[in-house]
Amino acid sequence: MNFFLILTFFAAFSVSMAFPRRRSKPREDNCLFGDGSSYRGDISKSARGKHCLNWKYFSIPWGASEGVDNHKYCRNPDQSLMPWCFVRRGNRFVREFCNIPTCSTPSHPVDTELTCGEKSERKQHKIVGGAFTSIKSHPWVAAIFNRRYGFLCGGTLIAPCWVLTAAHCFPDGAEANDLSVYLGKNAINETDADKEQSFNVEKVIIHTEFNEENHNNDIALLKIKSSNGECAVKTASVRTACIPPSNRELPAEYQCTIAGFGKGAYASWHYTQYLKEGKVNLLSRTACNSSLHYKGLITDKMMCARSPDWRTDACKGDSGGPLVCDMAGRMFLFGIVSWGEDCAKKNKPGVYTQVTKYNRWIAEKTQLPKYTEGIMYPTK
Ligand SMILES: *[C@@H]1O[C@H](CO)[C@@H](O)[C@H](O)[C@H]1NC(C)=O
Ligand SMILES: *[C@@H]1O[C@H](CO)[C@@H](O)[C@H](O)[C@H]1NC(C)=O
């Protein structure tokens, strides 16, 4: 059998490692906002370089509610121009202003468990047999790169700091330092600094019970962090997908969407460069496990999907990427592209890791139980 599971070669182009520079997010109480009356930082020198004196030595009408206490940090308790403090000048005590850095930008927007699964572009343009699409239709799609070899796998942004992918993407284990993750990318060989966000990988968590023989538990998590310490910022091209409630399953023939940068045909050598999408219908686990399809190879943590004409399928390079299903206008991540025999081959559906068998695992590893409760899932 010819599984596309094993990543035997990598795309023959180099990855631009340009990291877009975003200013690190200031904490409002640690920098100057307006006149600085909310400043609660720890600068204790005046703009002229004098050491501030502890407020407690002065008889003053202000207290803790104005930020003044038993300390010597600059404060603006009296609606002055900016924070100030008492300093000694000769044998007198005088007020001097302090030089506090200004808060550069308001904090960046991030997705929460309440805003997941919203795509910014609903328009359809035309994977094997699939159609080219825009990252705005699949803003949760992540591209995972090995810094030395290039494109490795797809993934899905499930929380601002977490990308869910497949365990088989890391056949030799994974060194976090070797990996980088891009979000908001329309093509793997193109850099659009305005849209894309790039990240280092802080942590790789591969399911300890991933079985390389039968591909059971083909799931892994990457914790991402940009070079200035931030996670994914919410933009039209970068959003999170929702996680459905634990053990939720959809009926056979339910139509879902797969997306990835994978190869357009099994025989073609290069990855498709551009993000593609395809519509697939779910196949019941029993049918998929029958002799017509994968004859006993399907476990209860896998799900199968194919297009009715067998022409659309996930393929090599789509590995780790999302199978999302639309529920009341929100996209829920049901599957992770895992394995299949060839691609778009008749009676050989794509097999996906069933995400709803792993809600607890994801919650435990990310410490983000709210993201895995499926609270945005429609109830009827
Ligand atoms: C990306 O790949 C496509 C297809 O191979 C090619 O047409 C395009 O010029 C490439 N873009 C860059 C920036 O290399
Ligand atoms: C698929 O078939 C095999 C062999 O008959 C069986 O061991 C396995 O439990 C089946 N999987 C499911 C999900 O029923």
Residue 265 corresponds to which tokens in the numbers above?
A: 């045909």
What does the pLDDT read at residue 337? 95
More confident residue, 95 or 191: 95
For ligand 2, atom 7: residue with the closest CA: 296
267 has a pLDDT exceeding 80: no
H or E, element range at 331: strand 330-339
Which atom from ligand 2 is nearest to the alpha carbon of 302?
Answer: 13
Ligand 2 binding pocket, CB closer than 6 Å: 285, 289, 296, 298-300
Instruction: Report pLDDT digits (tens) over 305-341.
Output: 998 888 777 776 689 999 999 999 999 999 999 999 8
Q: Interior CA angle at 159 toward 155 and 163, to 5°?
A: 20
Q: Is the CB of 273 under 6 A from ligand 1?
A: yes
* 3 pLDDT above the threshold of 60: no
Return all residues near 94 (Cβ < 8 A) that are at least 6 apart: 86, 87
Closest atom of ligand 1 to 191 CA is: 13
Using a pLDDT cut of 70, give the percent of the chain over it: 85
The rounded radius of gyration (Å) of the Cα atoms in the chain is 26
pTM over 0.85: no
Does the pLDDT of residue 264 top 60, yes or no? no
Pick from 126, 144, 362, 110: nearest CA to 244: 362
Report how far ligand 1's centroid is from the alpha carbon of 365 (Å).
37
Active site residue 270: no
Report the alpha-carbon angle 136-340-222, nearest 5: 50
Query: How do beta strands 179-183 and 131-132 pair?
Result: unpaired
> What's the Cα-to-Cα distance from 174 to each of 72, 164, 179, rounded to whole Å?
48, 15, 8
- In angstroms, the CA 37 to CA 29 distance is 9
Mean pLDDT to the nearest integer, 273-294: 93
Cα 60 off chain centre by: 50
pLDDT attached to residue 129: 64
pLDDT surpassing 60 at residue 81: yes
CA distances from 373 to 23, 147, 369 (A): 33, 34, 6
pLDDT tens track for 13-70: 333 333 333 334 445 577 887 788 889 999 999 999 999 999 999 999 999 989 999 9
Q: What mean pLDDT comes out for the span 261-288?
A: 76
